[in-house]
Amino acid sequence: MSWFIIWLMNINHLPKNIPVFPLSNFIIFPKTTVPLNIFEPRYIDMINDSMKSNKLIGMIQPKNSKNKQSVPELHEVGCLGKITSFRETEDGRFLIELKGLIRFKKIKEIITDKKYRVLEVDFKNFYQDLENQKKEIKFSDLELIFKDLKSLFEKRGFIINWKALERQSLNETINALAMASPFSLEEKQVLLETKDLYTRKLRLEEILKTYTLDEFSNKTIQ
């Protein structure tokens, strides 16, 4: 079966409506995997429902708002993920691993009888997330990003398995760096919304320059 037919099948199986987990301070990117500890009753229900169907949930950030709303407004772009590992603890929590598949754009919120939120979403601007993007970027292009990020991570006390990162595909490496980087949530949201991998690499470089300049300015002032 050709890659194009597999790609087309994946697109045709994307759901129009998805349950979403509006988690503050958290972003998942396509082709990255993250652990989640689920304990709120409404999200326990969501995971239960998802495990009985397609194992898909959407992760999306609530917008920062000075007005604390009971139902916070959401960003326009999130990421659909698939539950790849599931375990229930003795105290009733769910420990899952979620693999990012494809980004989505929020169309509207769907009113349901569920305690969790459901969105109608559109994937058409992000179909390239399902492909292996091999053109335009080489690993040698990431050397400066690796160097600057290693320095920044060390200063912030972050621990990263760089050798494991280097064994991944370009897609996985760039997305993992974007997700794990000690950037602000607004900066990570910008990275999530960039259309393609090459643009995300450029945005990573631009954001890193601001941090490098800040470090230089602080040293100069002192």
**At 207, is the secondary structure helix, strand, or coil?**
helix
**At 90, is the secondary structure helix, strand, or coil?**
coil
Average pLDDT over residues 177-197: 84
Q: What pLDDT, in 10s, does the model give residues 95-107?
A: 999 999 999 999 9
Average pLDDT over residues 168-186: 78
- Work out the end-to-end distance of the chain between its first and last CA atoms, rounded to an integer number of angstroms: 62
β-pair partners for 101? none
More confident residue, 199 or 121: 121
- Give the domain-ending residue among 82, 98, 130: 130
Prediction pTM value: 0.80
Q: Report the C-alpha gap between 20 and 79 in whole angstroms.
A: 9
Please indicate, yes or no, whether residues 53 and 147 belong to a single structural domain of this protein: no
Give the CATH number for residue 56. Answer: 2.30.130.40
pLDDT at 10: 64
Half-sphere exposure (Cβ direction) of 137: Cα atoms closer than 13 Å: 21
pLDDT at 7: 45
Please indicate, yes or no, whether residues 41 and 119 belong to a single structural domain of this protein: yes
**At 116, is the secondary structure helix, strand, or coil?**
coil
Please indicate, yes or no, whether residues 102 and 171 belong to a single structural domain of this protein: no
More confident residue, 93 or 212: 93
Please indicate, yes or no, whether residues 53 and 87 belong to a single structural domain of this protein: yes
145 — pLDDT class (breaks 50, 70, 90): confident
Please indicate, yes or no, whether residues 103 and 39 belong to a single structural domain of this protein: yes
Average pLDDT over residues 131-138: 60
Domain that holds residue 169: 139-221
Contact between 35 and 96 under an 8 Å Cβ cutoff? The reply is yes
Q: Report the C-alpha gap between 73 and 52 in whole angstroms.
A: 28
- Dihedral sign for Cα 19, 22, 26, 29, please: positive
Main-chain phi, psi angles of 63, to 5 degrees: -75, 145
- Give the domain-ending residue among 78, 101, 130: 130
Q: Dig out the tokens for 125 from the structure.
A: 């601007």
Please indicate, yes or no, whether residues 79 and 179 belong to a single structural domain of this protein: no
Does the pLDDT of residue 211 top 80, yes or no? no
pLDDT at 219: 36
Q: At what angle do helices 170-180 and 185-193 cross, to 10 degrees?
A: 160
Please indicate, yes or no, whether residues 9 and 113 belong to a single structural domain of this protein: yes
Number of domains in the chain: 2
Please indicate, yes or no, whether residues 112 and 145 belong to a single structural domain of this protein: no
Please indicate, yes or no, whether residues 188 and 123 belong to a single structural domain of this protein: no
97 CB neighbour count, 10 Å cutoff: 15
Does the pLDDT of residue 195 top 80, yes or no? yes
